[in-house]
A and B are shown apart, each in its own frame.
Chain A
Amino acid sequence: DTAVSQTPKYLVTQMGNDKSIKCEQNLGHDTMYWYKQDSKKFLKIMFSYNNKELIINETVPNRFSPKSPDKAHLNLHINSLELGDSAVYFCASSQDVGRGELFFGEGSRLTVL
């Protein structure tokens, strides 16, 4: 069973569209994250949720809106997509804030045309 799963794995869309990426973890972790990996492979945190509550919100355009319906799920919705949003988005989870290993999903490659 996949511990952290994301869907879809690939997403190709036009500028201006709205898209969502879903993430689920079955590890029983309390904390989930979204990371963005750019074309130079640099990984940067975007959001962090602990028990459905937002605890980290890095400098991310407000076109990006995370939603956590429960502690096992953290979805990412992106409005009005721009070319610069093209990247690989990784979901991750850890046992608790500041504790335990970070486990990543397989990534979702978003291409904006």
Chain B
Amino acid sequence: GIQVEQSPPDLILQEGANSTLRCNFSDSVNNLQWFHQNPWGQLINLFYIPSGTKQNGRLSATTVATERYSLLYISSSQTTDSGVYFCAVDPLYSGAGSYQLTFGKGTKLSVIP
């Protein structure tokens, strides 16, 4: 099956710093999403971005499907950004009638004041 690798696995930032999280995937994809799992365990949608660039406030994401990677940018980080960031992909050839998001192992971000 498709492999999804996220880097770095852990990241510690001072409040106000910027960061880039990376997601590499091993095969062509239909869909790609970024999620934030906050310290309370909630999985929050950040971006639905199979290709191109999107921005939402201090966060933006870029997916280069032809090169099989996606980047999540966090600018002016805040303590509320702490948590685990997951990339998830739906393989292009996941099978007729199936939709099976495969998750990476996540990047654990800690923003310290």
Binding site for B on A (CB under 8 A): 31, 40-45, 48, 50, 55-56, 88, 90, 94, 97-104, 106-107, 109
Contacts and interface: CB of A to CB of B under 8 A. Distances in A.
27 contacts: A40-B105, A41-B37, A41-B106, A42-B103, A42-B105, A43-B103, A44-B103, A45-B101, A55-B97, A56-B98, A56-B100, A88-B41, A90-B43, A97-B97, A98-B30, A98-B31, A98-B90, A98-B99, A99-B99, A101-B33, A101-B45, A102-B33, A102-B45, A102-B88, A103-B45, A107-B41, A107-B42
A99 B8 CA distance: 29
A98 B35 CA distance: 18
Interface in B51-75: none
A104 B100 contact: no
| Interface residues of A, dominant DSSP | strand
Contact of B43 (A44, A104, A109): A104
Contacts, number: 55
B84 A41 contact: yes
Interface residues of B, number: 23
Contact of A106 (B42, B88, B98): B42
Nearest to B31: A98
A31 B90 CA distance: 15
Nearest to B84: A41
A83 B45 CA distance: 31
A57 to B, nearest CB: 11
A42 B45 CA distance: 17
Contacts of A98: 30-31, 90, 94, 98-99
Given A98-B90, A98-B98, A104-B42, 14 more contacts: A40-B105, A41-B37, A43-B86, A44-B103, A48-B98, A50-B97, A56-B100, A97-B98, A97-B99, A98-B30, A98-B99, A101-B48, A102-B88, A104-B45
